[in-house]
Structure formats: C-alpha cells, structure tokens
Chains A and B, each alone.
Chain A
Amino acid sequence: MQKFFHDAVEFVPILLQGVWLTIVVTVGSLLLSTVLGLVWALMRVSGIRILVWLSAALINIIRGIPIIVLLFYIYFVMPDFGIALSALQAAIIGLGIAYSAYQAENFRAGIEAIDKGQIEAAQTIGMGWWLTMRRVVLPQAVRIILPPYGNIMIMMLKDSSQASTITVAELALQGKLIASSTFKNTSVFTLVALMYLTMSIPLILLVRHFENKANRK
C-alpha cells in the first residue's frame, strides 16, 4: 500500500496530462455529436422525403462501423484524400461522428414523444416549422432527452480512451506508456481506473438529477 502511494505521487502529475486530453476529447466530441445529432434528428422529423432518407441512411452507416475503424479511417485514410488532421482533431471528429448517431436517435425519440396537438396548436397561431420546433417542441423534448443524454456523456468519457489507438496521449495511453516503461502495472492501471471513475461520478449524479427531475413533472 505504501508503495502504491509512493507510485501515485510519482505518476499522478504525468497521468493528469492524460486527464486533460481525455477531457478535451470528451467535451469536443460531445459538442460535435450534439450538433450533428440534432441536425440528423431534425432532418429525420422534417417530413421532407429526401432528408428523412438521407438521415436514416447516415445514422445506419455510422452505427454499423466500429468507432475504432472510424478513427483509423479519419486519421490514416483521409490524408490520402488530402485531408490531414492532427491526432486530436481526428479523435474529436471521429468520436463526434460515431456518437452523433446515438444522439440523433435519442433526440428523435424525444421530439416524437411530444403530443401532435402541441404542434397543431403552434401551427394554428401561425408558427412555421422551425419556430414550432424552437418554441414548442424542443423545450418540451429536453426533459425527455436529458437522462439518456447523460448516459451518452458517460459512455463518451469512457470511449474517449479509444483515441489512444491513433496516438492521442489521453489518460489510457498515458497510463500504458508509464506502465510499459516502469513495469508497475498494478499501481498505474489502478490509478487510471480511479481517475476515470472520479470523472464519471459527477456525470452519474447528473443523470440521477435529470431522472428525478423528469419523473417529478
């Protein structure tokens, strides 16, 4: 145990650099996936056939490809087409696209759960499609969307470790590098696990808060 604390003092500062990158990747891809997911979802409920079809196709393609393959594709294949991204950019874009499919399905479910009467009421006071979405549908859908959204956040935090496969030195890769150079596997990976857990716990509490709020009304 004493040895563990001794190792901890030595490794935590290095691992914290990894934590920072983990947060950057998670927040970056969360924002991107939220925006893309909302776009796919709005296309899906737009009622315009070509947009509905396009969004359904995109979501299925994205869902059918493993995140790691998507990351490889963006980082290793795109340069062949003249698009060279840094590892960090590729990680954020890859994870953002991968998760946009799940975000889209969550948003769509929330939007479709809103009573049709609400949309008709908005139409009868002269609101167009976008105004109806912005003022009537989305504010009500948020309460339905938030609890699953929190769960997606937790999954994204953990899946940000996949960025290590394209050389982003986030927490998991940082840990692996220390472990392979010091052979102190137990100490290092225990610390890595504890750090992921520490970051997850606030998110888990947030989800519980959302769920309580959604159930109360």
Chain B
Amino acid sequence: MIELNDVHKSFGKVEVLKGITASVAKSEVVCIIGPSGSGKSTILRCINGLESYDRGEISVEGARVDSNDRSIVGIRTQVSMVFQRFNLFPHRTALENVIEGPLYVKKEPREQAIARGRALLAQVGLADKAEVHPPKLSGGQQQRVAIARALAMQPKAILFDEPTSALDPELVGEVLSVMRKLADDGMTMVVVTHEMGFARDVADRVLFIDGGVIVEQGAAKSVLNQPQHSRTQDFLRRVLHPL
C-alpha cells in the first residue's frame, strides 16, 4: 500500500536519500534500522509529506505523495505518525489530544468522538488519564496517548519515528507492548527503531539503511540473525554488543 520508487532527497548539498525503492504491503510491519544520520527518519517524513523529495515517486494506495499539493491532507489522514518526542498538544488534556483530529478534521459528532477517544485511551491502558494534561504524564504515558491520537484518525498505516528513543529505559516496554498489540491486530506499520528485540519479534521485514541507500533487506529474523552485508554485520555488532 506504500510504494517508494527511486526516491532522492537532499538537504542543501547533502544528499540524504540516494535512491530508495521499497514497498510496504497491507498489514505488514516493516522496521527500518541503521546508524544515525542514515536517512531513516527522512524516509518516514517523506511518506507523509512533512518533507518533500527531489526525485522518484512515493505513493500511498496509488495516490502520489506531493507535500505541496492539497491532496497531502487526505494522505495524512490515512497515514498517521508517531514522533520521537511525542509532540502532544500541551494545552489540551489526553482525551482532547485524541479527539482533536476526529472533531476538527473529520468533523465527527462530539459524542461519538469522545466515546471513541475514551475507548482508544483504554486500549493503550490510559483510561484513567483522560482528563490529565500531557506535561503531568510520564514519557511512556505521553507516547501511548500519541499512539491513541494517531489511531483516532482510523489510519490505514502508522509511521513510528523512533518512538522509544526519548524514553527512560524502564518505560520502553509499555510503549512496545502497545505497538505489538497493534501489529497483532493487523495494522500496517513502518517503524524506525533501535529496538532490535522488537524488530526481531514483531517485524515482518527489516530494512537496513546506511548512507542514504538500502544496504540490506529481508525477513526480520534473517537480516538480524544472519546479516549478509558487512556493514549490516558491523552495525548489529555495535548495537547489540556496545562493549
């Protein structure tokens, strides 16, 4: 449902994506791994038009992604995003964060949006935090609200941009388990992550990206357990055995 064909992207003189070709099928969970600055996040940001790309083509369910065209709004309601730093609206409660999109973008009736919002908060284990403002929540709780906010748009896919990288280690598990449940329910997910355990257990496929190109890709277990390429081996060794 998401197709990337020879996508190039430069920031000034620095080319961060040098021809990315990949696809994500419906209900598939794809993890993107690789060193910092390799272009992982840029891929996600291009898919939902937060960044424009210079060459190649990205499409979502056949519709071309063009960040300068009005059609991008429709694509964004189908492909939600969860950020590393949560980006919840601090002036609104957890529930208000979740129903903001349904109410003001999808024009859903208020009662219905609230009922769905509460159900989504319950789904991520935060039924009792509906009226709390984000700054009073822990990082893990904030990220779970952010996931509920993404789900509230009833998207066809969710992009996760290092969803656990800003969390204290003991809070990583609660977010990953919510994500695992989503994957089990058949949500299409593209996850940029450094959590190799999650990639191994949950992902269908793993893309290893370095220097703006896909160095290696394949079934999660084969890429992570028997990497073929020396750069993948080197990267995995450093991530899994930092000492």
Q: Which A positions have Cβ atoms within 8 angstroms of B?
A: 115, 117-118, 120-128, 131, 135-136, 139-140
Contact = CB atoms under 8 A, between A and B. Distances in A.
B90 A125 contact: no
A131 B104 contact: yes
A124 B50 contact: yes
Nearest to A121: B87
Given A120-B50, A121-B83, A126 B105 contact: yes
B129 interface: no
B153 interface: yes
25 contacts: A115-B87, A118-B87, A121-B87, A121-B88, A121-B89, A123-B76, A124-B50, A124-B76, A124-B81, A125-B76, A125-B101, A125-B105, A125-B149, A125-B150, A125-B153, A126-B76, A126-B77, A126-B101, A126-B105, A126-B153, A127-B101, A128-B73, A135-B100, A139-B91, A140-B89
Given A125-B149, A127-B104, A117 B85 contact: yes
B116 to A, nearest CB: 14
Interface of B: 48-50, 73-74, 76-77, 80-81, 83, 85, 87-91, 100-101, 104-106, 149-150, 152-153
A140 B133 CA distance: 14
A117 B104 contact: no
Given A124-B150, A125-B153, A140-B90, 6 more contacts: A120-B83, A120-B87, A121-B83, A121-B88, A125-B152, A131-B105
A195 to B, nearest CB: 39
A210 to B, nearest CB: 16
B106 to A, nearest CB: 8
B143 to A, nearest CB: 12
B50 A135 contact: no
Interface centre among B48, B101, B150 (most CB of A within 10 A): B101
A139 B92 CA distance: 10
B73 A117 contact: no
A117 B77 CA distance: 17
A125 B80 contact: yes
A47 to B, nearest CB: 11
A117 B80 CA distance: 14
B12 to A, nearest CB: 18
B100 A125 contact: yes
Nearest to B90: A140
A59 B88 CA distance: 34
A136 B105 CA distance: 13
B78 to A, nearest CB: 9
Contacts of B101: 125-127
A4 to B, nearest CB: 51
A121 B152 CA distance: 13
A118 B89 contact: yes
A124 B50 CA distance: 8
A140 B49 CA distance: 24
Given A123-B50, A124-B76, A126-B76, A117 B87 contact: yes
Contacts of B149: 125
Q: Which 10 A-B pairs have the closest CB atoms?
A: A125-B101, A121-B87, A126-B77, A117-B87, A124-B81, A126-B105, A126-B76, A126-B73, A139-B91, A140-B91
Contacts of B153: 125-126
A72 B26 CA distance: 69
Nearest to B97: A121
B89 A136 contact: yes
A135 B104 contact: yes
A111 to B, nearest CB: 14
Contacts of A128: 73
A117 B87 CA distance: 6
Nearest to A127: B105
Nearest to A139: B91
A142 to B, nearest CB: 9
A121 B149 CA distance: 10
A122 B80 CA distance: 11
Nearest to B89: A136
Nearest to B70: A128
Contacts of A118: 87, 89
A46 B106 CA distance: 24
Contacts of A125: 76-77, 80, 100-101, 105, 149-150, 152-153
